[in-house]
Amino acid sequence: MKWSFRLFTIAGTEVRVHVTFLLLLLFVASQSYLSGQGLPAALESTLFITVMFGCVVLHEFGHVMAARGYGIRTPDITLLPIGGVARLERMPRKPSEELVVAISGPLVNVIIAAAIWLGFGISTAFHPGYDFIKTGGFLEKLMVWNIFMVAFNLIPAFPMDGGRVLRAFFAMFMEYGTATRRAASIGQGIAMMVAIYMLLNHTIHPMILLICFFIFMAAGQEAASVTQEEATRNLRVRDAMITDFRTLPPEATLRDGVELLLSGNQQDFPVLDTHGGMQGMLTRNDLISALAEKGPGHPVVDVMRSCPVSTLATIELTQALEILNASDCPALPVLDPIDGKLIGLLTTENIGEALMVRAALMKLRA
């Protein structure tokens, strides 16, 4: 994340703090200092905020440790004013595993609250007039904070842990994508209901409204990213490659290339050897610039790019896309595994089209 600094690294996970979080600390300290309570009060409230976020870090490490149990690494955790964000390498796809990872964070806060309650005998009574800022001492506040974190994180909406618990629960009975979309719409429904309730009662808390908005957006994003992932999964090179294309023989000149370029909308032309094997690729840009320099009679074999990397029709599309992106050629040749002949071409535009078609078909089924 931009504008964040590394604090320390524990067990391979970097704990970072976002600059806005430091501003929050500064703001809290100056507030209590300026309110005339003096330096000790300013120090105490800054210390409390720091300890509060210590609990957030421990909560995130609950997720990190559970994920590690399933062999998933977490490169970093970033502290933001709204809480912590653990960036897991991936989320486990098995519902039971996701459930464990999601629940492990709030479980840490349950343990902290229980430890304060049992260890110090501190309890607190919640009543309508309860004021977190004014009521209770350091430990009582810390216990309340941890109880609040459990309650907040178990709201069944993305990006809260409760949303993941809900998705995992649905995924036990239905497909992962459908489960995600269902969990996301429930989260969006809750966010909308809370916002409407506030509007109807004329009691708008800007902070809660902001959280509702945030939940609404995040839920939509989660559903969209899973849908996108589903669209690429199981697609092979053969589902996206062009099979209808023109090629150039080894003795072709730039004039032949120009003729092909003008006769259709193909832009890059494979140059084949006499046995139909791939020799190289004449790209439109190379053709145009060579035409001006060398004239139309020049042989294409002099101008073409050698495309040493190729792929097979049975390779997964996402994997081929990576090869294509790393390659110097605008199109990836698809070769027959037996005789090495060119059977197709893969370009980023084809892949984009294949994904759009897939997404449209999935929408139809959903």
Residues forming the site for Zn ion (CB under 5 A): 105, 161
Tokens (6 digits) for 195: 């916002």
Closest approach, Cβ 155 to Zn ion, in A, equals 11
Q: How far is the CB of 275 from Zn ion (least distance, A)?
A: 60
Min dist CB 184 to Zn ion, Å, is: 17
Among residues 76 and 161, whose Cβ is nearest to Zn ion?
A: 161
Contacts of 332 (CB under 8 A, 6+ apart): 307, 309, 310, 311, 320, 323, 324, 345, 346, 347
Yes or no: say if 130 and 150 are a contact pair by the CB < 8 Å rule.
no
The letter for the amino acid at 263 is: S
Give how far Cα 193 sits from Cα of 132, 183, 196, 214, 216, Å: 25, 15, 5, 14, 11
Nearer to Zn ion, 78 or 253 (CB): 78
* Cβ 59 to Zn ion shortest distance, Å: 6
**311 Cβ contact partners less than 8 Å away, ≥ 6 residues apart:** 237, 320, 323, 332, 333, 334, 335, 346
Q: How far is the CB of 25 from Zn ion (least distance, A)?
A: 22
Say how far apart CA 144 and CA 122 lie, in whole Å.
10
Q: Which residue is nearest to Zn ion (CB)?
A: 105
What are the tokens at 345? 């071409």
> Which 8-state DSSP code applies to residue 302?
G
Residue 163 beta carbon to Zn ion: minimum distance, rounded to whole angstroms: 10
Which one, 98 or 161, has the nearer CB to Zn ion? 161
